Structure 1
Amino acid sequence: MRIFILFLLGLWGVSLHAQIPANTIGANPFGLKWQQINTDKVQVIFPEGNDIRAQRVANVAHYLWDHNNASIGDKMKKVTILLQNQTVVPNGFVTVGPFRSEFYLTPTPFNMATDWLDQLAIHEFRHVKQFGNSRRGLTSLARSIFGSWAWGGFTATALPRWFFEGDATVQETALTLSGRGRQPAFTMEQRALILDGIDYGYEKAAAGSLKDFVPNWYSLGYYMVGYGRTRFGEELWSGVVNDAVRYKGLFFPLSKSLKKRTGLGTREFYQAMRQDLESKWKSGAPGARALEESPIVNRFRKKTVVNYTNPRWLDDADLVVEKRGYDQLPMYYRLRPDGVEQKLTNSGVLLSAPESTLSQGNGRLVWAEYGFDLRRSNQTYSVIRTYDISTGSKRQLTSQSKYFSPAITERGDRIVAVEVTPNGTCSLVVIDPAGGEVIRQIPNPDVYFFQFPRWTSDGSAIVVIGQRNERQALYRIDPATGRMEAITPATPRQLNHPEVRGDNVYFAAGYTGVNQIYTVPLGGGAIRQITEDPIGAFQPAVSPNGRMLAYSAFRTNGFDILKEELDESTWRTVDVNAPEDRLPTYAEELARQEGGTIVPTVPDEKFPVRKFNKTSGLINVHSWLPQLDPPEVGASILSDNKFGTLSIDAGAYYNLNEEEWTFSSNLRYAELFPIITLGYSYQNRAARLINYRAESDSIVRFASYVEEWTENKLTAGVELPFNFSKGNAVHRLDLIARFDRFHVNPQGNVDNPDRGIDTLINVGPNNTPRFRDLYLEPLAETDLNAIDLRLRWRLFRRQAVQHLTPHWGIVTDTRYRATVGNDLFSGFNFVTRGDIYLPAFFPSHGFYLNAGYQKLDRLDNYRFSNFFIYPRGYGAIGADDIVRLSANYTLPLAYPDLAIGPLAFVKRIKLNGFIDYGQLNFENDIFSYGAELRFDVRFLRLLEVDFGVRYSYLRDAPYAPNGNQHQFDFLLISITE
């Protein structure tokens, strides 16, 4: 038991769950004014002007505090919820360090019928309950002793990530009319695997793959949790969680508890779930057919997952499509009927397929992509970009905007887009495609959330999906008056991507268990189903002559573009209000267990609203981390305010061998544009120094020795982080300046023969004055001041999943440190490095060059820490000037997707060959050659680990460690969740 607890103490330090991101500070704009609702159950902090949304969140939290607890447990904990209204990224999370939740308020354009805020509150508050009910047994003990990070680490070690997200997805499904478990766009991924007869096994399903499509842990978790509840009862998982966080069964406690309660371990439970779904989905239910080969337009052979989406007709023959994959960033192609692909242009950061949109009018492509603020990570934008196919010119039409799903008229004279403002209002805006100015804002008095607007063929009206009161419908809007007319009945089913051709609207909808393409007259009337796709059809596009339909369809190797003739005789009329004939997904049984949708049931209590003081809770100690790394032991204390502006750490460490203490503390305050840093450290230092002294008129004493000293250092500095990222380019610049004041106390090893070399040099009679510039005082107890200036610049192209390095890019890091104001004791260090990334022979390969240079003076009687990266295999080499050049070629050897029991899942094996060159003092050359064999592994079902081994052959034996020209090193590159 003691060994196990020590193992856990080491593991939770790096195994923070996906729900626990790194604490980013200073993410919000400085000028926002904040308010709060603070009750005995929840604190909601929100920007001024968002009272209605804050009241709704508080009411949902209060309702869920008292209801729907049987399936998880009734151990509750008050939480702080921050409403973030400046970002356009639809998301939310709960973290424990410190314990809080953040809601990103801008909805996804591919929204369900339930209001985004309701769905988000239900989902995220389930995470709050999960963490609340994890405070039991060993996890509770760890939290009491070590604080929040131990709480999160022990919880994440006990409960796999698929349970966290699957259980929350189950709740959003059971407690609304349109949670993800009810949506064909969500269920199609697992269904495609089953209809294709693909069974990856539990280890791959839980770990994911860099080669094959594997549904994420939301999907896996929904079906695992849903199957358990429908097969073994509503309270199964509350019992499993209770056992797991207490660590009953020690290793893999969730699997042990499942085995005890169901007779099935995790792997067997997964297979039982798949068999259950297979029996449901292959028994004649809607869409439960074998996956047949259909003629597809894209003929390029897929070697990995590749998505072809967003088909747009250029004429009656050619299409423009969006193409992206595990080995390719998003790119727009001209796709001919024979499958020939012609590259047009690339996009920036898009929503994932099939959520993104593309519009074409008069030879101009229009889409929306993410834009970024210069400083604040929570300040993001959705900007409109255009591309002229005839001229090849691309431009950004808007900046610092929040426009979604833009669509251009067929004549190319106007663009319509959805605008979502920070205070939550949603409207349609008409934009001039020449200059990007807003021509008209269409009123929305009934407060609909609009999705996927499109112009009618003549540009006289707009067709859009309107969502309100857990219902969605198609509407026709007069852009001049804002008058809305319903085209289809309102339904909880998801509608998406309408397309207007002539007097008909074509659209995709999840009326049954499979997303299909439908059509309806522009003035309303009978809804007819066009496609009979076995998995899911999306994004319809009708040719200009009205004869051909193109659409994207999901497959297990990615979306394809399918094309078929429009033949009305094959269409069937559907009644969207008929009794449901839907694919079984556990949703109805889960809703029965939980009591169904709570959206109309949640009270509308008016809680008091008060100003929130951003300085309140500024010091918030939430964790302390032990360090057990003999001979050094110690601990650090962590403080982060929930508002995310101040982070403090302080630590004390004791070296058992040297019987010496080291202390350090750091403070980062990021409310203002510059990040202000303060620090203190007391540490033991050592460096090899050189000293010359005149012993007589002809004798010079030379000493090369290892000096040891203690150092008390106070630091103050500023950091200026700039984010110039745009399109596919990641572009960041960091300017850092620090001032250090430190007291040094050396041991005086210049006269210690055991600490180095001490010799006399005869320079000839009366010649010692000629060497006066070499005579420096040995380091003595004194106070020193120093400056530390640093510039980091990164400009590189984003990477696809299988890219090992960027296809192009430059990364530089330059740092200058020097003492100031002391003529007797001085030192300086200048170091710079740069990486250049270039295309390789294949997209997944990488070729990059490194260069580095360090300048110092070995005669300095104070030495700064050495951060130079020497040629691989060699240790630190004494030189005033050292240059390093390196060439690297890296490639994947295999994607084995190999499970080594529950211990490890090997995703990728990769090889890097290198040649390193170094030059010492512009005179002596050194070389090393070698290779690095690395592995990307999911370790213990918890951690993503990149590790490997390196072999280096050192050409120059005199500089090799211990003269050994063959060097082997273990590499641990990264550990993430």
Structure 2
Amino acid sequence: MGKLLLFLLSFLSVMEVLGQYYDNGQAPFTVRWNQINTPNFQVIFPESLDSMAQVYASYLELTYLKVNKSILVQPKKLPVVLHHKTVMANGEVGWAPARMNLFTVAPQDNYFQPWNQHLVLHESRHNVQLNKLNTGTTRVLGWVFGEQAAAAVLGVHLPLWFVEGDAVAYETGSSLAGRGRVADFLMPLKAQVNEKGIYSYGKAMFGSYADYVPNRYVLGYQLAAEGSLRYGSNLWNQTLDYVARNPWQPRPFSASMKKLTGLPERKFYKNSLQELKNRNESKSLNANNALPGYRAISKPTKSEYVNYHHPLAIEGGVIAYKTSLSNIGAFVLIDSLGNEKTIYKPGYVFDNVFSGNDSLLVWNEYRATRFEQQNYSNITIYNWKKGKLYYLQSKGRSFYSTINSQVSKLVSSEIDESLQWSLTVRDLFSGELLVKVHFDTLQPVQPAWDESGKRIAFIAISSAGKSLGILNIETGNTNWLLTNELLEINQPFFVPGGLVLKGTFNNRSNFFYYDLKNQTWSLLTRVPYGVGSASYTNGELIYSEYTADGFKISAQKLLPLFEAKPQAYNDALVVHLSKQEQLVNFRTNNFGEFPVTKYRRIAHLVNFHSWAPIAIRTESNEVGIGATLMSQNVLSSSFLSAGYQYYRAEAFNEFFVNYTYKGFYPIIENEYRWIDFAFNYTDQDLLVHPVSGHQHYFNHNWSFPFLFDRGKWYRRLNLGLGYNYNGVYYNPSTTLVLNNKSQHKARLSAFIYQLQRTSHRDLAPQWGQVFNMQAEKSLNAKIPAYQWTVWGQLYFPGLLKNNSLQFYGGFQQKETGLFNLQNRLAYPRGYALYDFETLQTYRMDYHLPLWYPDLNVLEMLYIKRLTLNLFHDLASFNYQGTKRYQESIGATLGFDFHAFRFVAPLHFSITYAHKHTLNEPYLGINFTVDFNALY
């Protein structure tokens, strides 16, 4: 009984957040959509991209025939939406509603396979996982709860390392590429187990604030692939089958693994990582520091994980893009003694890559818009000697922009909205397009100039593999040095007499030298784990090499060690997976051309995907007695929930409908509630009168979000316009005269903020300003009710790193009509809110981390962080000529943790305050769940 109760509590808590829908953002309303219906997919795509959609449709069908070899299930037909206006490379499969989103712009660091093939393989495996989970008892739950049942079972029972790791294993086994064949993919995990040991299972699953923990893709691939290698290809099929049939058990995933492998889940994890460690040579066998002229440039950072990306040699030092757990990313200058100086803190830098010289830095910076599925990658230039920043583009789709040695031009890899790739040359100062070279079937990536400014080295990706070419921009001809290689080659750049590029040697990434005259290859480095990026100066190779504490900068003479050519990555896991899965040959297309039809948005606004015999209130994050019906369209622009709730304590019924539309620029929200009530009213003569009636509540809002992000600052403005109706209507009574009452109210609001980006360890922005103003007024001439509110909050850095000092102040004035107006201000902790006509509030908070314990408690709790917040609150209330005060001072002790291996982070806090006004103590507790981690 206890096991069933625990499952129900977890299941209902996950369904509560699923009821809020998974909103992955919208494309602009100007996008018009077409569709292709194949036997197993409904491919929805922008109307100008029919040929691209045909390719995706055939790839999806080809993969469908083979994706279920090691997980036995026949997936149901699935909507697939192709997005072309976002520059963020990604893919996802959602469930509730069921759909696949594919973001079609490929990344620059893509491996030796076209992006569309990778997307289809990886996301098709997720589709198989969810369909397998939606069998057995879980399928029965789906009859009761709809599609959210399988999503909830996944959220409660499946570790995310399995969900992503199995998909990476599949993409590796079903193709000649995949991340399992990329040397850098397992690099962080190899370094960790060799230098820091095997972390606890809780730390590996849930992460840490103290240390860098390899992500769930890396860990998951090692565990999923190692598991099927050691215990058979049917391991994960049987495990998913067991979870689907036994979701009521507290830990069916672990129970199945114990049954099939004979090992508890934690022991399985440790054994798998020990195998990884045993399979790799000791780092001392390939120590680079024994090479002639080797020297370390960046200082050791054993106390914290720090990365130095893309070191650029300049006169007097090295510039790098530095990231760490404690600080946001920044360009830093490192002098010959290893001392650092921060040059500039940018916004999101694509691939952590930049170009520059002794005065200029150039990078591609992410720019968000109102529509999450429309964003840009803009060429950004910073003169760090003069402290001047300017953008060469405002709506760019440029990547890997590199400045020439003449400081006059930029070469970039660019993609237009028809998804055609090209190499472009632009004027450095005006942005004028000078040269554009199209590549019909290739994706050009990572371009680099030669010293003359006439040739460009680059990597090209195609369905046949990777190629290395040199483009002559005067003639437009390309000289291919390598063609159609099924291995990793990256980041070519010119050095005297040849090229340096990154490749694989002995299953580790290293740098190679290609002699252009003699057409020979040589190995330049031999590092224990792998390398990042490099540059050249005065006979030295300046490069980043990976350690368990991050990428560090080293230098060595540009001297070949011995002749060697980049190799293909291969290990026991790759060999096993290639035998386990069926190869998907994308070159064989027996489907022909599918018919294309219009996809009419208005006909697909309503898509009921889930329901529940409980009331799920998305607006208040509550569940209750009742029933709910939920709809979301596959374009994530139309959201509807409707239902009924019974309030047992007050004995009244409520019917509700919530509808939000996000397809236009303004976000339009509607809420309607109908409530019937009945109660007994006792008059002054102590006579009891039965009273009954019903209430109508309607709320309609328009919000206009504007984004002005720049560099390290998030700058946003949200303007709001709303209307509210509240009416109470009494049933006729023979003993009491009651007047119906109603109120119409208008609302205007403005919310503006400027907040600095936060690091992994930050509890709040180090700098920031927030301002909010809201005015509400009754539209009834006879009911002069109104309320206006203004508040602001300021953020400052504290005395120590990742500490935060915050000041909050607000003022509110109101005149209440027939209905109470909602308070909009924070007031002193520990007090109940007094009635007021005017309210002034003030708060000061000092927030700091106390400890990052990474502590496992009885395999039930994993505690990641302890925090402390010291506060002082003050408020002044004025009501009917009387002024009252509230003041409190105290502290809040917070715990960030995970419980029962539930993937969503939990936060528990205890607040103690001395209520100075009343001279009495206050003790309170608070508990929150971050459900965003489920997505």
Asked if residue 890 in structure 1 is aligned to residue 847 in structure 2, the reply is yes
Query: Please, which of 473, 484, 493 is the counterpart of residue 479 of structure 1?
Result: 473
Alignment of 1:46-445 (within 5 A): 46-247=45-246, 250-282=249-281, 295-299=295-299, 301-315=301-315, 317-351=316-350, 355-361=351-357, 363-373=359-369, 375-445=370-440
Whether the 8 Å contact between 1:15 and 1:153 is mirrored in structure 2 is: yes
How far is 1:619 from its partner?
1.1
Give the aligned partner of residue 972 of structure 1. 927
Instruction: Describe how 1:375-774 pairs up with structure 2 within 5 A.
Output: 375-445=370-440, 447-522=441-516, 525-543=519-537, 545=538, 547-568=539-560, 571-576=561-566, 582=569, 584=571, 586-596=573-583, 598-601=585-588, 603=590, 605-625=592-612, 626-627=614-615, 632-683=624-675, 711-745=695-729
Q: Secondary structure at the match of 2:886?
A: strand
CA contact (8 A) 1:20 1:96 kept: no
Give the AA of the match of 1:574. A
Give the counterpart letter for 1:726 in structure 2: R
Whole-angstrom CA distance in 2 between matches of 1:656 and 1:630: 15
Measure, in 1, the Cα distance between the counterparts of 2:340 and 2:694. Answer: 66
Residue 220 of structure 1 deviates from its aligned partner by 1.0
For the pair 1:810 / 2:800, whether they are aligned, the reply is no
SS of the equivalent of 1:567 reads coil
TM-score (normalised: structure 1): 0.89
Q: Separation in 2 of the partners of 1:118 and 1:871? A: 56
Q: What is the letter of the counterpart of residue 442 of structure 1?
A: V
Assess if the C-alpha contact under 8 Å between 2:766 and 2:802 holds in 1. no
Deviation at 1:32, TM superposition (A): 1.4
Q: Does the aligned pair in 2 maintain the 1:634–1:651 contact within 8 Å?
A: yes
Letter of the 2:648 counterpart:
L
| SS of residue matched to 2:446 | strand
Contact 2:750-2:774 within 8 A present in 1 as well: yes
Q: What value does the CA root-mean-square deviation take over the aligned residues?
A: 2.9
Q: Which moved more, 1:907-916 or 1:204-213?
A: 204-213
- TM-superposed CA distance for 1:406, in Å, is 0.2
Distance 1:46 1:893, change over 3 A: same
Amino acid at match of 2:780: G
Task: State how far apart, in whole Å, the 1-side matches of 2:586 and 2:580 are.
Answer: 16
The one-letter code of the counterpart of 1:594 is: E
Using the TM superposition, name which of 507-516 and 318-327 deviates more: 507-516
Q: Deviations over 1:431-488 (max 9, x none)?
A: 111112212212324x211111010011111011111124112210011232111123
CA contact (8 A) 1:498 1:539 kept: no
Which deviations, in whole Å up to 9, do the C-alpha atoms of 1:652-680 show, x marking residues without a partner? 21111221112221111222222223321
Q: Which amino acid aligns with 1:310?
A: H
Cα offset, 1:868, TM superposition = 3.2
Contact 1:26 1:672 in 2 (8 A): no
Q: Distance in 1 between matches of 2:312 and 2:287?
A: 29
Cross-structure match for 1:836: 794
Q: Which whole-Å CA distance do the structure 2 matches of 1:881 and 1:574 have between them?
A: 78
Q: In the aligned structure 2, how far is the partner of 1:779 from the partner of 1:307?
A: 71
Q: Check conservation: 2:306, 2:549, Cα contact below 8 A.
A: yes
SS at match of 1:109: coil
- Structure 1 residues 891 and 602, CA, compared in 2 at 3 Å: closer, same or farther? farther
> In the aligned structure 2, how far is the partner of 1:861 from the partner of 1:676?
27
Residues of 2 paired with 1:526 and 1:779: CA distance?
Answer: 97
Matched position secondary structure for 1:615: helix
Aligned counterpart, 1:696: none
Instruction: Look at both structures and tell me which one has the larger radius of gyration over its CA atoms.
Output: 1
How much does 1:14 deviate? 4.3
Aligned residues: 909
For 1:142, give the aligned amino acid: L
Deviation at residue 901 of structure 1 after TM alignment: 3.3
Displacement of 1:684: 7.9
User: Is the CA contact 2:505–2:566 (under 8 Å) kept in the aligned structure 1?
Assistant: yes
Tell whether the 8 Å contact from 1:444 to 1:482 is kept in structure 2 after alignment. Answer: no
Q: 1:60 to 1:524 in 2, by over 3 A?
A: farther
1:893-932 correspondence to structure 2 within 5 Å: 893-921=850-878, 923-932=883-892
Shift of 1:49: 2.7
Change (3 A) 1:6 1:576: same
Report if aligned partners of 2:698, 2:725 keep a CA contact under 8 Å in 1. yes
Deviation of residue 536 (structure 1)?
0.4
Partner-residue secondary structure (3-state), 1:879: coil
CA contact (8 A) 1:182 1:585 kept: no
Instruction: Tell whether 2:747 aligns with 1:788.
Output: yes
Partners of 2:138 and 2:247 within 8 A in 1: no
Q: Secondary structure at the match of 2:719?
A: strand
Match status 1:857 vs 2:815: yes
- Summarize the Cα distance change of 1:634–1:413 in structure 2 as closer, same or farther, 3 Å threshold: same
- Partners of 1:631 and 1:655 within 8 A in 2: no
Q: State the distance in 2 between where 1:124 and 1:588 align.
A: 22
Change (3 A) 1:523 1:140: farther
Contact 1:489 1:576 in 2 (8 A): no
Judge conservation of contact 1:814–1:833 (CA < 8 Å) in 2.
yes
> What do residues 215-239 of structure 1 show as CA deviations (whole Å, max 9, x unaligned)?
1111111111101111111111100
Q: Deviations over 1:765-822 (max 9, x none)?
A: xxxxxxxxxxxxx994123211122222222111010111101112233322222124
* SS at structure 2 position matched to 1:62: helix
Take 1:531 and 1:840, find their aligned partners in 2: how far apart are those partners? 43
Aligned-partner Cα distance in 2 for 1:517–1:661: 71
What is the aligned-residue identity percentage?
26
Deviations 1:15-64 (A, max 9, x none): 47999995337611111121111122001101123223222222222122
- Distance 1:816-1:302 versus aligned 2 partners, 3 A rule: farther
Per-residue Cα deviation, 1:85-142 (whole angstroms, up to 9, x for no partner): 0000011101112100100111111011100110011000100111111112232122
Q: Which amino acid aligns with 2:576?
A: E
Deviates more, 1:482-491 or 1:825-834: 825-834
Q: Residue 961 of structure 1 corresponds to which residue in structure 2?
A: none
TM normalised by structure 2 equals: 0.92
User: Secondary structure of 1:443's match?
Assistant: strand
Contact (CA 8 Å) 1:20, 1:94: kept in 2 or not?
no
CA distance in 2, matches of 1:708, 1:302: 71
Aligned partners of 1:31 and 1:249: how far apart in 2?
46
Aligned residue identity for 1:466: A
Please state how far the C-alpha of 1:153 moved relative to its aligned partner.
Answer: 0.7
Q: Amino acid of the residue matched to residue 611 of structure 1?
A: K
**Aligned-residue offset at 1:280:** 1.3
Structure-1 residue corresponding to 2:686: none
CA distance in 1, matches of 2:699, 2:60: 44
Partner amino acid, structure 2, of 1:314: I
Cα gap change, 1:335 to 1:362, in 2 (>3 Å): closer
Residues of 2 paired with 1:847 and 1:819: CA distance?
38
Deviations 1:938-962 (A, max 9, x none): 22222211221111110011xxxxx
